[in-house]
Amino acid sequence: MKLTIKKWSAINDREVILNGESKLVFASTAATDQKLEAAYRALGVAYPKFFKMDAQSKLGWLSAEYLCEGVKLFDASVGKDVALVLSNRKSSLDTDEHYQQSLTNEEEFLPSPAVFVYTLANIVAGEICIRHGIKGENNFLISESFDAASLVNYVSILFEEELCQQCLVGWVEAYHGKLRSVFAFIEKTTEGKAGLLFTIENLNQVYQTSEL
């Protein structure tokens, strides 16, 4: 079965990229939170919960949002046929460390429940599923580096086993102020329709293209 990368988005410390074109360049002096907020404001959507998320969930949420260009990708009725497969190296370590610090503050021992809920890597997947009505297979894989081979293999099996009709796949990591995400929207190849074949080589190329 042939699969196509219909669209892809990426966010790094410098810019937001959609299908290889720069959509937004961050101010070089902006802090991580300011970059994420600038990307959110540029979309022109109203989603108050965005401000409650940790940096990694904001990054993943924005990556999915830019992929959809501010429009919901899926009809709720097909949500069960949409899969989401994400990956990164550091899991939720950024927020884990933040939460750990709050636990060690003996003078003011009041750790925040709102921080605690983000001490799992797959919370970002949940935020995206809620936003886009995705109810299909979802998984978050941890690997030493961007592993296009595993991602292509995993997603191909999902399609072959008819566990999904469409899939969002990618990498999302926010750690110590460094942002890096690449999301690709995958569907079955339609003859005559333009698109990049979903292969290890092409997925790697997409990842490298969006590198700083």
Partner 1 sequence: MSELISKLKQQIVDQLNLADVDPAGIDENASLFGEGLGLDSIDALELILLMQKNYNIKIATAEEGQKIFSSVRAMADFIETHQKA
Angle between helices 200-209 and 148-160 (to 10 degrees): 130
- CA 204 to the chain's CA centroid: 16
Least distance to partner 1 from the beta carbon of 46, Å? 7
Which residues touch 34 (CB under 8 Å, ≥6 apart)?
26, 27
Nearer to partner 1 by C-beta: 117 or 120? 117
> Do residues 61 and 129 touch, judged by C-beta distance below 8 A?
no
Least distance to partner 1 from the beta carbon of 45, Å? 11
For 105, list phi and psi in degrees, rounded to 5. -80, 90
User: 99: which 2 tokens?
Assistant: 């939460």
Q: Contact residues for partner 1 (CB under 8 A)?
A: 46, 48, 51-52, 108, 110, 112-114, 117
Least distance to partner 1 from the beta carbon of 50, Å? 8
Nearer to partner 1 by C-beta: 1 or 46? 46
Least distance to partner 1 from the beta carbon of 121, Å? 18
Question: Taking the CB of residue 30, how many other CB atoms lie within 10 A of it?
Answer: 13
